[in-house]
Every structure is written in C-alpha cells, then in structure tokens.
Structure 1
Amino acid sequence: MSNDYGIAAMQCRRAVAETGPYPDTLGEFIDCAANEHGDAILAKWLETGQTMTYSEFADASKKLASALLAQGIRKGTHVGVMLPNVPAFPLTWAALGRIGAIMIPVNVGYTQQELTFVLTDADAQFLVIDAVALPSLDAMADLPPLLDPARIIIHGDLREDSQSWEALMEAGDLEFEAPSAVSRTDMLNLQYTSGTTGFPKGCMLSHDYWVLLGSLAAHWRGAEGEVSNILIWAPFYYMDPQWQFLMAMRLGGTAKIAPRISMSRAYDYLVEEEIHYCIFPEPALKMWPEGPKDSALCLRFVSIFGWREESRREVERRFGCIARESFGMTEIGGGLMVPDDAGEKAYQRTCGLPAAFRETRIVGENGKDVAQGDIGELWVAGRGILWGYYKRPTANAEGFAGRWFRTGDLFRQDEDGFYQIVGRIKDMIRRSGENIAAQEVEAALNSMPGVIESAAVGVPDPTRGQEVKVYLLLADGKGPGDVPPEAVIAHCASRLSKFKTPRFIAYLDAFPRTVSNKIRKSDILPKGADPRVGSWDRREQRWLTEGDAAG
C-alpha cells in the first residue's frame, strides 16, 4: 500500500472540525472554558509568577467590561490597546469583546510617528496604554482627532487627567450584561499588518475569525490531550499570542507567557515549565548545541516556518516531537497545514493541505487556475476570513476577487496535492528573463554555518534587468573573514542554479524590521546611491567602492 502522507487522516479530522459546534463570540468562548475548567490554571506570567484560573479570568473580564462600558465604550467603539505581555492585555481584549467593542493592538515599541499613524488611521476613540509606552504618547504635539486625555486609560501609572486601568478593574461589577447583542460576525479586532513595504493596513477581523483560529489550533495540535502547556513568548499585540492563548483555553491547558522573545532564556522556559507546544525558531537549533540536556525537554509539537530539511529532521530527532509547517496570514488565519502523519513529505519545503473551512486555488495572471505543478498566486476563501482592509478601497479591490482573497504569495502544487510556497509576487527577482524567488536564495544561504539570516534583493543591471544581491547577518562572534564571500558563492553554487547564485554580497550588523519582525527589504538598499557599492562582486572578484559607482 502506497504512503498517502497522512492525507486521508487529515481529511477525516478536517471533516470533524467542520461539524463544530463553536461558540459565537469571544465572551461565550471564555465562559464555556470557565464552566468546564473552573479552578484550573489558565495562564502563568513567567516574569512575575502570577497565575489566573479560568474562573478568575472570566470574572475579571466581566468586571472590566462593566467598568469600560461606564466610561462610554459601547458596541463598535474603537479602542487602541498598547500593552506588553501582562495580564491586562488579554483581560482588556476579553472585556472589549464582551461589549462588542473593537480592539486595535498597538506595538509598545512604536515611535510617536507610528503611534500617531495607527491611532489616527484606526479612528481610535479610547487608548489603553502601559506606562512604559507613555513617552511616545507624550511626544505627540496633538492627540489624534477622536482621542481625548479623559479617554486614555493608563496601566501601571496614575495621571490626573487620565483613567487608571487598575482603578477601573477594581470598580467593575461582576454582573455584566452587554447592552447590545454581540454576534459571531461582528468585528473584534482591527489588526494592523506590517508588510515589507508601505504603511500598515488594518484587517477587520470578526469574533468568528478568532474563535475558529484558536479552536482549530487546539484541534490540530492537541485534541488527544498530549498538549497542555503552551509557551507564548511573542508580544501579545502580534497575531500568534492571541490565538495561542485561545488554543490553551480550548484545550483546558495553561498558557505560559514570557515577557518577550529571549533566546537566552527560552531553553530554561521549555524545561522548567514543561512546555508541550511552542512556535520554534530555527536559529535556536544553532544556538543550542546537541547534548544530554535535550532529554529534559517535554516538547510534543512545534510549529515551524520555512525551515530547511536538515533542521526539520534534527528537531524531531533531538527532541522527540512532531515539527510541522503551516501557512497562515493575518487576513485569513490558518490556510494550509502539513498532516501529522506526512512522513518524509514533512521534511520537504511544503506548507501542506487546505485546513478546515478553507478552499484554495493557484491562479495565473489570466485569472484562471494553473495546471498542477505550475506556479501561480494562492487564492483562499472560507468562513471567518477578514471582512477587508479598513478604509482601503483600492487594497480591497486589488486583494479580493469576489469571495476569494488573493494572498500575494506564489505557490505550486506537487503531484500529491501538497502546496509549496515559492515566494512573494513582489519578492521576485527578474534576471535575464528568469524569475528568481528571493526565498529560495535565502533558504540556501540560511543553511550555511555561521549565517543566522539573509535577505536577497534585485539590483538594477543594464544588461540583465536585475542581478541578485544578498545581505548576510552572521552569528555572534563571526565576521566576513569567517564567512567570506568566496565561501558563500561556493555554498550557493552547490545548491542553486547558476543564474540564481548571487552576484553581489554584503554584510549587516542588523536588519531593518517591520513591527512584526519581518525584514523590511525596502530599507536595505541605499537611497539615492549605487546599490552595488560596498558589496563583493562575484564577477569582478573584489569589493566595489565609490569609484566603481562613479565609473
């Protein structure tokens, strides 16, 4: 019997997932979990050791909802939430959801300009802000048009003209009832995406989006009871911690919440907190040498993204866990997943098969589905995807084709039906008529010892249209002398076709980042200067200087 790579089993689990039932709203989701798990520990904040049970969380969110309602927050009110990984973040989210208000998560590291943009663009009427983020607020010459000092709620500090989050929590009434009905299709989050170019766009996400995302994460990763302790270490204003928190709740498990991503502390978190599930960064394998300490880990399932084959095999061998790729976006939630029983297929660069409630197509430039094996854009449809982008009619017209969302990602489907990501439409390098996926070049570079991360970009060339230039971020203690350009070229030449092998190589101490930690490629290339200067040229076999640009 041939190996079906877990397809049949996944189809059965998908069918079960699609039968439901699911709570309609975030508040109902929380109450169902509290009724079932009561005094069990829902969350532990690792920096302080504070814990909350399911019942305590449900009650606190009701009290806060009543207090926020008294301040004038009603159904449909837009509320910025600028908090770090503290209990106030999920409690505020839950309270707003109970009212039917809309949360706008805001990065606590935003500058005054970034904060002004998001609060203004999102039409924020209230702001819940932590004391650590007040300098950015104070730097504003004027508050955004719909915001007033009296509608600023401060966590961790007291100001005469603003509200205290702690005082509101204390004053809340446990007997909360929403004055307006909240439904599953109502908006819950205005979640700003941070693409690699341009200003962020606000995704309008419903209660149904979040309930499904958290529930399905639990269904796929821990429905048999093997996962209960979940490590959350990214900031809550990003997508992943929010659905991971709901995943823990759906499983009746415990969310172990770190204050921030810390490679130096991560191993201790995994061992001391007996973590069963986390999103695992590939660089951690390089930073944690294999040894007897591996046996102390309790990992059972890890989510991985874009890993090379050797790392996929290594993490499963060392830690005895299942490591699986998936594909998702802020706009669609989960889209594709690799089955648990995928076997050898899981070690390939595949994102898997359509997840529950998802339909997928690979579409060519003519708007028609491409032949199996050909490259096209991934389109996704299904229950709970975003309404659209807030106040972005042009982006909505370009990003949707009827009920289908156009992801902007290039995919191909292999002979077994698995979807493989090729790259972003806007992240292709065009050299002498050949399309080169930057992601493919980066994957080859990232597999090289001493290289932590890389970015491939196209630079203008009068003969070929573009040439491939790569930027390298090296491991601590390593420099260009340890990972010289000649070795980089040789490494790439053994893994890539000649036309994909970089011509120009440069080294950086750090990459410019978006708020969601993606590399902002638009800021890598020098503005108004020859992008070749300061690079090692494979053809010339030397470093290029200003004199080369002038010539």
Structure 2
Amino acid sequence: MIAITDQTTIGQALQAAIARYPDNSLLAVPANPKRSYLPEGCEFSYAQAGAHIATLQARYQAAGYGVGHRVGLFLESRPEHLWHKLAMNSLGICCVPINPDYKRRELNYLIDHAQLDLVVCLPERLEALQQSLQDTRNQPALVCTDPQDGSAIALPAARSQPSGTLSADTPASILYTSGTTGQPKGCVLSHAYELAAGKWYASHPGHVSIQEGRERLFNPLPLFHVNASILSFYCMLLSGGCQIQTDRFQPSRWWEEVVCSRATIVHYLGVIIPLLLKQPPSDWEKQHCLRFGYGAGVEPQLHAAFEQRFGFPLIELWGMTEVVRTISDHGDDRQVGTRSFGRGAPGLEVLVADESGQPVPPGTPGEMLVRYSAESPRKHFFSEYLDNPEATAKAWEGGWFHTGDVVLQDADGLLHFMDRRKNIIRRSGENIAAAEVEAVLLSHPKVHQVAVLAAPDDIREEEVLASIVLADGVAPGTAICQELFAFCQQEMAYYKVPGWWWFTNEIPTTGTQKIQKHRILAAGQDVRSLPQVLDMRAHKKR
C-alpha cells in the first residue's frame, strides 16, 4: 500500500500510486448499451488516468486556478468527475460536487453558499445552470466538457489569484449534507481527511481485508457522495485496486455488471438488498467472484437469506460525511441478522451518552459520540461546516462529535443501531431534511401548516410523509395533492418530494405550539392506516 503521513497531499499520493501501479486498472466503467456515455464500457490504468489528470492540471494551472478557489463539478458519475477532482486537488483547488437531481432552488443555494469560482458541467446541464444564475448573487464562470474528450476543455481565466499554500489541511472537497434545520450544510473535507479515510479502509483486518493490487470494487453509489468519491476511491488508489463506477444502481443489470467487471467487493445500501432478493434467479448471480459486500442498512430478517442465496458476507458499517473512517462489524464475532456494526477502535473512539453527554450503562440506548482521541479529538474529521461556526461548535460540544444516531452498546462493546437522527429521513441512501421539505411546502399559498416525517417503507427503508393542514377554503383531496406534488417537483430533487400525503384538520402541538411529530405516526405504524392518506410514491421519478 502507498505510504502516507498526516502531511501527505492528494497530489503526492496520486503520483506515488501512478509510479507504483502504472499498469493496474484504477477505474472501470461497466458496459451498458443503454447508457449515453461509454456504452461498451472502459478501463483506465493508473498511467492512463495520470495522463488525463496531468492534462487537466496543466489547463487549470494555466488559467490561474489554485489554492483558495472552489470549482463545482456537475459531471454525474462519469470518469471526468474523478479526473477533474484529482487535477484540481493537485493544485489545491477545492472540489464541490453537484447532485444531478438538484432543481433550480437547490442549485441556487449551493452556488451562492459555496461561492463557486467556476462550474464544470456536461453540455446537457448547461441550461439548468444558466437558469440558476438568473437568481444567484454569485456568478461563477461556466464551462462544458467535450462529449468526445473530457480532458479537452478550454477554461476561462480565474478572476482572482490563488491564496495560501497547499498542505494536507487544504480543503479538498465541500460535500453538502442534509441538516436538521433546513438548508444543507457544506462539510469541508481536507486532503488529510480524504486520504485517512482510504487508508483506514485499506488497513481493516478480518473479513474486510484489502489485498494490494488485486481488488476490484464495484460501487453503485454516486460520486457526489462521500462513499464512492472518497471512502472507496482512496482505498483503491492507495492499495493499487480498481474502482468500478457504474452510473446508478439497476437491479436487473446488477449481477451482469458485477460479473463482467470481475468485481471482488461490492458496496451496498439497505435498499439494494430486498430489490436483489426479489429478482428471479439467474445464471449471472452464480458466476461472481465477490469476497464481501460493505454497506449499511440491511434488514436483519434479510441478512442471512441474502448471504445464503448469493454466497458472500454483507459487512455492516457505520459512517457519515463528517467522519467516513467507518466502524464495521468485520471480526469473527460478526452477528448476522442483528443491527450490530462493530466497535470503536484507536483512532475512532466511541462514547454512548445520554442527553447531558454522560456515558450510559451497557444495554442502555444513547446517542453515539465519536472522536479520534482525547488529545486530538478532531483529527481526520471534517474541518468545519462552511461559514457556520455555530453548527460546528454545537456538533463538537464536550470534545466529542455528536452523530445524532441512537445506538445500544452491549456488554462486549459491540454497537447496535437503534434509530437515526431527529428530523432526518433516510430514503434509498439519501438523507432528507424534514425541515427543508416543510419550508418548501409552507411557501405554497394553499398550505397553512405542515409536518414532514419518515414513514417506514419495505423497499426504500423510509419514505417522506407530509401531514398538512390546508389554508381556509381549500378542500383536501386528489386535486390539491397533485398540485402540491407538482409544486414540490419543481422546487426539489425528486427523492425529497413526499410520497405519502395526509390532509388533516389539526397537527398535534405542545402548549407552546411546537409540533409533536411522534403523535402523528407511531413507531412502526403502517402509513396506510392514516384516514384517507394519498399514495404518490409511484409518481416520484427523476
């Protein structure tokens, strides 16, 4: 594995990897005849990737970009995303990935909040960006990639000089995560953070053991997420492995892509497991050479059935954008069919605490707090929430990072997931802030009051439920539901739009008018038991 220290930058690690593994494959795109790019698939060696990156690096440098600049990448999960990111990071430029499902309002917020200097986009994304710039205070330059050659790009000159010196503490990425108070928070991630994530993964013992120069990791998750762009990618880069990056998860093509790409590892989300189990048996599923799957959220009752049918272990993990050095249940005492996900370890200490931050006894649910160590609690964590020192300080109250996740630690120290953070809905791997959806709905003149919460879902883990009190004179029913659904589709990424709609005369509140969401839907309650609830899940499409 490539040797790195806490002072190593991404550019230095990249050059060391190219020198050590020049002929190994770094990135593979599985074949898919229906995909708009590389339908026959493609592989890039470390040397070939290095050539693409060097060309782009020279173009950014010649245009005057460097430390202190922020560039948005609207490139979906295509190879160009990684080439641009690595070229930019080699110069100290900060990469800001853009979710391709974002609508105009969401783009406006990111462009203004991140104060982007430049956005690099696919030609088909240019119009959406131009529309957004009609609303934003910040006016970054826009440039499109060449459909035939992602490295052939004419960059406009930077409008300001680089500032500062490139180091391991320089921001490498800003990833936007849903927050409980509404608008997403920009997680600033340094070079040291991103490389530490890859090194941590590549150094795991037990079931999750990475073999240098031999692994091929199939990741169906998008490159604007920390899982694919940082956790798995840097693990492969540092260990001479290959990341297999598909455009999106497709149950009907999963096994064909996994087999034909010769994957040895797959990443998964809980939503993937039941969808694969529901696929009819095929010859493809018997031909794979997978050693393990690495992910989170498999339902306990499906865990053993999946492993028995497909013949490889699913290793459950915990991680988040703020700290993606994962905790995972990779030892010999792995507990299949439970919500266990491992133990804390040196470099990622865990405290299960009550509301005052005091430790709770084993077997008692509490919030999971994490840190690197007592001496250096924030080492290898996110640097800050961009322009939000109050939120950063609150997250680190008491010298521990407050995850918001409720866990139970047994007498042997094994951690079991109980519940997720308040006001965050977890749908098919996407974190959705209830407050953000509520803010959009409250901007509609026919909505008087709204409470958005998570409803259990057999396939997607959770679905968005909107409980709504309509304005005076507005009749509940299918017509207003369709109107509000269409309104939300225009304002938000499709996955944030409520799938369930329930119009009611009153939303329960406290004496101080604080909404009591726990009284709307009881734990585990079937949302269909709500009177006259409307199901719009089938209409949620990209």
- For the aligned pair, the TM-score class normalised by the smaller chain equals 0.7 to 0.9
Q: Does the C-alpha gap of structure 1 residues 111 and 90 become closer, same or farther in structure 2, counting only changes over 3 Å?
A: same
In structure 2, what is the Cα distance between the partners aligned to 1:262 and 1:25?
Answer: 35
Partner of 1:260: 248
Name the structure 1 match of 2:196.
212
Deviation at 1:153, TM superposition (A): 2.0
- 1:352 and 2:336 are equivalent in the alignment: no
- Size of the aligned set, in residue pairs, is 447
Query: Matched residues in 2 for 1:225 and 1:232: separation?
Result: 18
- Match of 1:378, SS state, is strand
> Secondary structure in 2 aligned to 1:352?
coil
Deviations along 1:276-325, whole A, 9 cap, x unmatched? 11113212332324465432121111013121233221232223322111
- Provide the C-alpha distance between the structure 1 equivalents of 2:166 and 2:47, rounded to a whole number of angstroms: 21
Tell me the distance in 2 between the aligned counterparts of 1:387 and 1:528: 43
Distance change (3 Å), C-alpha of 1:137 and 1:206:
same
Which amino acid letter does the alignment assign opposite residue 46 of structure 1?
P
User: Pairwise mapping of residues 34-45 of structure 1 onto structure 2 (< 5 A)?
Assistant: 34-45=18-29
Q: Which residue of the other structure, out of 168, 171, 189, is the alignment partner of 1:187?
A: 171
Who is 1:370 aligned against?
360
Q: In the alignment, does 2:43 pair up with 1:64? A: no
Unaligned 5+ segments in structure 2 are 32-37, 156-161, 373-378, 426-452, 469-484, 509-520, 534-542
What's 1:128 paired with? 120
| TM-score normalised by L of structure 1 | 0.72
CA–CA distance in 2 between the matches of 1:66 and 1:528?
A: 60
Match of 2:215 among 228, 239, 243: 228
Preserved contact between residue 102 and residue 493 of structure 2 (Cα < 8 Å): no
Q: CA–CA distance in 1 between the matches of 2:138 and 2:308? A: 55
Q: Deviations over 1:433-481 (max 9, x none)?
A: xxxxx99x94xx73xxxx6644497979xxxxxxxxxxxxxxxxxxxxx
| Larger displacement relative to structure 2 (197-206 or 316-325) | 316-325
Structure 1 residues 335, 249: closer, same or farther in 2, change over 3 A? closer
1:7-33 CA deviation, whole Å, 9 max, x = no partner? Answer: xxxxxxxxx99x975671111111111
**Structure 1 SS opposite 2:384:** coil
Q: Does 1:85 align with 2:69?
A: no
| Partner in structure 2 of residue 312 of structure 1 | 303
Match of 2:153 in 1: 167
The answer (yes or no) to whether the contact 2:213–2:240 under 8 Å persists in 1 is: no
Q: CA 1:216/1:153 → structure 2, altered by over 3 Å: closer, same or farther? A: same
Q: 1:197·1:520 contact (CA, 8 Å) conserved in 2? A: no
User: 1:299–1:319: 8 Å Cα contact kept in structure 2?
Assistant: no
Q: Deviations over 1:21-46 (max 9, x none)?
A: 56711111111111111122211222
Change in Cα spacing, 1:45 to 1:376, as seen in structure 2 (3 Å) is same
Query: How far does the alpha carbon of each residue in 1:181-228 deviate from its partner, in whole angstroms, 9 at most, with x for none?
Result: 422122111111124761111001111111011222222234345961
Describe how 1:411-450 pairs up with structure 2 within 5 A: 411-426=407-422, 442=456, 446=458
Amino acid at match of 2:134: D
The answer to whether 1:98 aligns with 2:86 is no
CA contact (8 A) 2:213 2:241 kept: no
Query: 1:38 and 1:316 mapped to 2: Cα distance?
Result: 35
AA partner of residue 304 (structure 1): G
Identity of aligned residues (%): 22
**Counterpart contact for 2:26–2:236, Cα < 8 Å:** yes
- Quick one: distance in 2 between partners of 1:55 and 1:227? 17
What is the alpha-carbon distance in structure 2 between the residues aligned to residue 102 and residue 544 of structure 1? Answer: 50
> Match of 2:252, SS?
helix
- Matches of 2:169 and 2:385, distance apart in 1: 16
Q: Secondary structure at the match of 2:322?
A: coil
2:315 is the alignment partner of 1:324: yes
Deviation at 1:417, TM superposition (A): 0.5
After superposition, residues 445-484 of structure 1 pair within 5 angstroms as 446=458, 453-455=461-463
Distance between the aligned counterparts of 1:513 and 1:145, measured in 2? 21
More helix by share: 1
* Partner Cα separation in structure 2 for residue 111 and residue 341 of structure 1: 46
- Return the match for 2:292 from 298, 301, 325: 301
CA contact (8 A) 1:362 1:370 kept: yes
Match of 2:262 in 1: 274
SS in 2 for 1:191: strand
Please tell me the residue identity of whatever aligns with 1:369.
P
The 1:543–1:25 alpha-carbon spacing in structure 2 relative to 1, beyond 3 Å, is closer
What one-letter code is carried by the residue in structure 1 that aligns with 2:220? W
1:41 and 1:452, CA in 2 relative to 1: closer, same or farther beyond 3 A? closer
Asked if structure 1 preserves the Cα contact closer than 8 Å seen for 2:217 and 2:243, the reply is yes
Q: Which moved more, 1:93-102 or 1:330-339?
A: 330-339
Which of these two proteins has the greater Rg computed from alpha carbons? 1
Measured in 1, the distance between the counterparts of 2:348 and 2:211 equals 23
8 Å contact from structure 2 (residues 273, 298) kept in 1: yes
CA distance in 2, matches of 1:132, 1:247: 32
Aligned in 2, Cα 1:76/1:368: closer, same or farther, shift over 3 Å?
same
Q: 1:544 matched to which residue of 2?
A: 531
Root-mean-square deviation (Å): 3.9
In structure 2, C-alpha distance between the alignment counterparts of 1:53 and 1:88, rounded to whole Å: 14
Q: Are residues 245 and 137 of structure 1, via their aligned partners in 2, closer, same or farther at CA, if it must alter by over 3 Å?
A: same
* 1:367-421 CA-partner distances (Å, limit 9, x unpaired): 2111222122111112210112111233223222154211111111111101112
CA deviations 1:54-104 (Å, max 9, x no partner) are 122223223212211222212011111111222210011101111111111
Does residue 118 of structure 1 match 2:71?
no
| Aligned partners of 1:290 and 1:318 also within 8 Å | no
Q: Per the alignment, do residues 291 and 166 of structure 1 end up closer, same or farther by CA in structure 2, a change over 3 Å counting?
A: closer
Match of 1:33 among 17, 20, 28: 17
Counterpart pick for 1:250 among 234, 238, 256: 238
Contact 1:100 1:186 in 2 (8 A): yes
Structure 1 distance, partners of 2:293, 2:491, is 24
Secondary structure at the residue paired with 1:357? coil
* CA distance in structure 2 between the aligned counterparts of 1:356 and 1:105, rounded to whole angstroms: 31
* Cα distance in 2 between the residues matched to 1:514 and 1:266: 31
Partner of residue 398, structure 1: 394
Indicate which of 279, 288, 296 corresponds to 1:288.
Answer: 279
SS of aligned partner of 1:260: coil
CA spacing shift, 1:514–1:286, aligned 2, 3 Å: farther
In structure 2, do the counterparts of structure 1 residues 338 and 23 end up closer, same or farther at CA, with 3 Å as the change threshold? Answer: farther
Assess if the C-alpha contact under 8 Å between 1:196 and 1:519 holds in 2: no
TM-score, normalisation: structure 2: 0.73
- Runs of at least 5 residues in structure 1 that lack an aligned partner in the other structure: 1-15, 159-163, 170-177, 430-437, 461-507, 547-551
